[in-house]
Structure 1
């Protein structure tokens, strides 16, 4: 399983994940904390898609490495392994360097395999078995993180013989899609009335507004019946008639300020044969996102299924939750993420809902806003797109590293 890249510092390779008569082989890359690895938390990072490699988070956002496509350099500004052990995993199968079977078609079906992968990792690296476990991710990980964390919690309550109790303490979701029924209602406000100004014509804005109630109703039917057919229909209609009207703006889905997405130099770098050999990856054509996985998840209407109740369940059981968002992202925008958190039902939800957004300062400068109630925190990061840590690395690291009370000057 282990391929050491630097003694006792970082490892990469494959985790064998059994499933019935076959197995999946999940690629992982692990970095020890540069602070106090024996006591610092173990943070697992997942990118979304579905089918997008967590190497994106490693190379473009929170990992210790950066690349221009030809060589690797150190991320001085914002690597989260300054304060935490970091584990990046490509899942489900056919994502990034991961391969094998069976294929997965929904978030729910991925949860048991992810749990097995973490069990395998902790058995191979026993020194981290008692560290605080933090599960973070972005975008479609707004599905993954709640579902996987809730599954871990349920397994902890009825721990099977031979399994390790996972010390789950917190989860984090950045610019996520978690409750589509609520979040679809904020596509038009973000495109037409954000702090960056409208990027659509008045006619397009009106069309989005007029179509939103039908979209919300169709998602409601999906959530009520639970059938793949109803959820597929809602996904298709909402994307065509509400969400993707935004494409008329010619702006990036992930940064309303521009038409350009962040470069993916890491794809070129990870396709180098010598790099693949060094990290223990099976030689392959590495892709940032898998169209195969996206299509497979589309066959169950997974996109519009609601994972907010799992967040509430975790909050009810003492798990800390942080929902954060770069405020220039359209696709999983900050307005929509704030909105679904305000509709959660948990013991201290009324306290959370009663709070207003307060300025968040770092080094004397206002860099965003936050609100907190009980174990739930929401953070808006100014001047950041979908991959907030790419745009604001120091701010992202500060958010990750501090308690919410430390965000106030």
Structure 2
């Protein structure tokens, strides 16, 4: 989430393995990595939201003064053999607790934010082990030096986190791993997964590092190829299936600015120079997607001006909750300080589609999905860049077309699939697809894990 500012801007209960750790309190444990110097994990075992499964939450020390908060839930179904999914929200600078508490995690809160309840309709831990973590530092519950200024700088820390987690909890290390995220996850997920792929390829037989069993990635309403996606803002605002939300003059202004925006982004792609990319970011941000402000509608849902309730923040920030989950900081949903560091390198206008192609070329399956009411990372732009992606087998994907996608006999979207690339349009959903369509999102995820989504 936070795409708007981005573009402008003690025994182990239920455990089945021995864990080398040192208790610092009756319910707090520390694991010190033997494979990654100066890295450690401090955690508790809460029983919030879903007390039927094993949970771990706390901090992973992943770099020099970088302390990332994480929360893990085992699968309700066969956790020893279930897939392992990592979820990241976007921003840059927004917490993955958004995904956990508003979207696809087992957690919800009651209306006034005073009590946790189980997400009965759409929790992805129904079928997969789920790991949520906040990055970079000072996002969510995480804290530290905050030395990350770009997606590329963030990738090694995420890799360290995965390594230490699997070292501490080795029962999960061989499970098929799926990297999922949304929004700025269109940068994070391809970059982090491709970094994992490259690290896997470079491991020697004597290395103590885990060879991560990377199976697939999934990105919902992501920002991945700005050059193509910028060209569809005017269509989403002025000619979508939900009708226009802007005046004719605003639509004409947006449309007239597209050619210059395209040339500036092309220059950014060519030179990879921060000044060139900042120029593109500033012009396109102000003259294309920024015009949408005049609509008075949500950037995340063209149908309304209302935001999704964030009452879960009150619950997370209560002293009792923070004590239970081992959070030592107050919770901040989106960090402007973290986001501003990414803005300083014009990271948001960089192209991460080539990393998606590299993953596909190495046998990693890719799911791209988009709620069709979202403006800021709209489905038109995502479908367009997917259709223009050049990878081995792209002709197979491009030869297909969108077909009706049904859940329980009802058409809830459209799907196109070929050569390990699948695109899903989800009807009547905004930026956070699982919030709007939890049942359909869970079915999509379940079918993707089983490689049956088509």
TM category, shorter: over 0.9
SS of the counterpart of 1:207? helix
Please report the TM-score for the alignment, with normalisation by the length of structure 1.
0.97
1:85-143 residue CA offsets vs partner (Å, 9 max, x unmatched): 00001001111111112421100000001000100110111000100000000000100
1:216-258 residue CA offsets vs partner (Å, 9 max, x unmatched): 1101111111111111111111010001101100000000000
The answer to whether the Cα contact below 8 Å between 1:192 and 1:205 also exists between their aligned partners in 2 is: yes
Please report the TM-score for the alignment, with normalisation by the length of structure 2.
0.87
Structure 2 equivalent of residue 393 of structure 1: 438
SS of the counterpart of 2:297? coil
Alignment pair present for 1:64 and 2:106:
yes
Distance 1:110 1:159 in 2: 20
Structure 1 equivalent of residue 190 of structure 2: 146
Alignment pair present for 1:83 and 2:127:
yes
Distance 1:124 1:224 in 2: 42
The answer to whether the Cα contact below 8 Å between 1:78 and 1:393 also exists between their aligned partners in 2 is: yes
Distance 2:71 2:453 in 1: 31
Residue 43 of structure 1, aligned match among 66, 85, 92: 85
Residue 4 of structure 1, aligned match among 31, 45, 53: 45
Distance 1:301 1:255 in 2: 25
Distance 1:303 1:244 in 2: 15
Distance 2:260 2:223 in 1: 19
SS of the counterpart of 1:113? helix
Distance verdict in 2 for CA 1:33–1:215, change over 3 Å: same
SS of the counterpart of 1:313? helix
The answer to whether the Cα contact below 8 Å between 2:236 and 2:380 also exists between their aligned partners in 1 is: yes
Residue 94 of structure 2, aligned match among 27, 52, 62: 52
Alignment pair present for 1:23 and 2:65:
yes
Instruction: Name segments (4+ residues, structure 1) moved above 4 Å.
Output: 403-408
Structure 2 equivalent of residue 278 of structure 1: 324
1:356-404 residue CA offsets vs partner (Å, 9 max, x unmatched): 1000011111000000011000000000000000000000000000149
Distance verdict in 2 for CA 1:25–1:347, change over 3 Å: same
How far the C-alpha of 1:293 sits from its partner, in A, is 1.1
The answer to whether the Cα contact below 8 Å between 1:40 and 1:83 also exists between their aligned partners in 2 is: yes
Alignment pair present for 1:166 and 2:212:
yes
Distance 1:37 1:302 in 2: 37
Structure 2 equivalent of residue 34 of structure 1: 76
Residue 365 of structure 2, aligned match among 315, 320, 325: 320
Equivalences for residues 239-388 of structure 1 within 5 A:
239-284=285-330, 286-388=331-433
Distance verdict in 2 for CA 1:407–1:45, change over 3 Å: closer
SS of the counterpart of 1:2? strand
1:252-288 residue CA offsets vs partner (Å, 9 max, x unmatched): 000000001111111111110110111000132x121
Residue 229 of structure 2, aligned match among 156, 160, 183: 183
Across the aligned residues of Structure 1 and Structure 2, the Cα RMSD in angstroms comes to 1.2
Distance 2:92 2:146 in 1: 16
Structure 2 equivalent of residue 74 of structure 1: 118
Distance 1:256 1:36 in 2: 40
Structure 1 equivalent of residue 16 of structure 2: none
Structure 2 equivalent of residue 105 of structure 1: 149
SS of the counterpart of 2:120? coil
1:280-334 residue CA offsets vs partner (Å, 9 max, x unmatched): 00132x1210011111100000010000000000000000000000000000000
Alignment pair present for 1:229 and 2:270:
no
1:42-86 residue CA offsets vs partner (Å, 9 max, x unmatched): 100000000000000000000001013111001000000000000
SS of the counterpart of 2:366? strand
1:154-174 residue CA offsets vs partner (Å, 9 max, x unmatched): 000011622111000000000
Structure 2 equivalent of residue 211 of structure 1: 257
The answer to whether the Cα contact below 8 Å between 2:55 and 2:71 also exists between their aligned partners in 1 is: yes
Distance 2:198 2:175 in 1: 19
How far the C-alpha of 1:351 sits from its partner, in A, is 1.1
Residue 116 of structure 1, aligned match among 160, 181, 184: 160
Structure 1 equivalent of residue 21 of structure 2: none
Structure 1 equivalent of residue 33 of structure 2: none
Q: Report how many residues are paired.
A: 404
